[in-house]
Amino acid sequence: MLDIKFLRSNPEAVKENIRKKFQDEKLPLVDEVLTMDQEFRAAKVRCDDLRAQRNTLSKQIGGLMAKGQKDEAEQVKKQVTDMANELAELEKREEALTAEIRRRMLVIPNIIDPSVPIGKDDSENVEVEKFGEPAVPSYEIPYHVDIMEKLDGIDLDSARRTSGNGFYYLKGDIARLHSAILSYARDFMIDKGFTYYIPPFMIRSAVVDGVMSFSEMENMMYKIEGEDLYLIGTSEHSMIGKFIDTILDEDKLPQTLTSYSPCFRKEVGAHGIEERGVYRIHQFEKQEMVVVCKPEDSADWFEKLYHYTVEFFRSLDIPVRSLECCSGDLADLKVKSIDVEAWSPRQQKYFEVGSCSNLGDAQARRLGIRVRNKEKGNYFAHTLNNTVVAPPRMLIAFLENNYNPDGSIRIPVPLRMYMGGKEIIK
């Protein structure tokens, strides 16, 4: 959410930012906010004036009564009553205007970084760098579910009967591999100095409003009926929510956290749920990284975070590339975002396995996450998040890039300690 002071002073810059994101339907919101804000400030000035007058007149009543001037005192009482009635109406109007302004401000997109490429959708995202050689073997690589089924590692049919499409049973060595990847990711981030968390898997609506846009919530999150709780779509939601309405000491920054959680998603939209496969599903697990820092440090942390993901995948011999999201593909809260994509030798193309985002102070402003500074005054922190790894999607890249001609799967050295010393799955 933008600072309303910035919008007041720079309405044309806010409109131009909306145009860069190809959301022209939101342009009227800027003028609506300015009009309401002007009315709100006028109401506030009038309220302050009425309170001052009321206090002055209230003091006069006692003096008039003491002098026996009852008629004059009654006239003053009537004035005070009229002022109180007007004040009550204005306070209601202030409250209504505050809610309407906030509703619109939550929809107006964050100001994107000047370095973000301008484009309408993900087809115009820009490749930044490749890491590792994207090889295509001379032998055929089967579809990932076929690999798993041949290794007796997945049961989709039973999951359809118990839960429907978008769910799975992993078993045997594939299930163990799934857990090994998450354990390695946890230790990888701990070794980078991050504090390990297992967060709540449900959050309240106040946190949901702070961490994402309403449209994202509607398309992603499952609501717990009868309770003010939502199942998280990713652990960054509860991890950022951890700081709601707090003031952090500046010398305690940055806060660097890595968290494990299951994730639950409706996956509503054109892409839909896969009938057969584990790329787009309702339930998966994920290791995340979250940083809360000073504004001047967020650009450096952004670079560090997505390179950690690159380093993680390269340690498992998976070629990846970084892809910068263009303006039209950037979620409204984000200042800048880079996707990490893994190489698929079967499809001979890259596909997304993680996303790194700098949200500036937008989330902090929504959630009330401030930093204490005695000299300059308190200010809003910057927040960032990035995927370390999200199996089972990552399993697709892993299985394809470590698939042997005989159908076995090579286990890279970093994972062997988590696999009981196994070097291959066959």
Residues 72 and 171 grouped into a single domain: no
278-297 residue pLDDT tens: 777 888 999 999 999 999 99
User: What pLDDT is attached to residue 116?
Assistant: 97
User: What pLDDT is attached to residue 271?
Assistant: 53
Q: Which of 56-60, 83-87, 153-157, 344-348 has the lowest mean pLDDT?
A: 56-60
pLDDT level of residue 215 (50, 70, 90 thresholds): low
User: What pLDDT is attached to residue 270?
Assistant: 45
The answer on pLDDT for 402 being more than 80 is yes
The answer on pLDDT for 411 being more than 60 is yes
User: What pLDDT is attached to residue 77?
Assistant: 80
382-392 residue pLDDT tens: 999 999 999 88
pLDDT level of residue 273 (50, 70, 90 thresholds): low
Residues 51 and 191 grouped into a single domain: no
Residues 298 and 373 grouped into a single domain: yes
User: What pLDDT is attached to residue 71?
Assistant: 79
Interatomic CA distance for residues 366 and 33, integer angstroms: 17
The answer on pLDDT for 348 being more than 60 is yes
Residues 44 and 137 grouped into a single domain: no
Q: Where a domain ends, among 44, 70, 105?
A: 105
3-state secondary structure of 280: coil
Query: 251: which DSSP letter?
Result: G
User: What pLDDT is attached to residue 295?
Assistant: 96
User: What pLDDT is attached to residue 245?
Assistant: 95
Structurally, the chain folds into a number of domains equal to 2
Q: What is the CATH number of the domain that holds 8?
A: 1.10.287.40
Residues 126 and 99 grouped into a single domain: no
The answer on pLDDT for 165 being more than 60 is yes
Residues 202 and 89 grouped into a single domain: no
CA dihedral 419, 422, 423, 426 (to 10 degrees): -100
Residue 54 domain boundaries: 4-105
Interatomic CA distance for residues 258 and 214, integer angstroms: 26
- Mean pLDDT across 207-230: 84
Q: Where a domain ends, among 55, 76, 105?
A: 105
* End-to-end CA, the chain: 51
Beta-carbon count within 10 A of 44 CB? 14
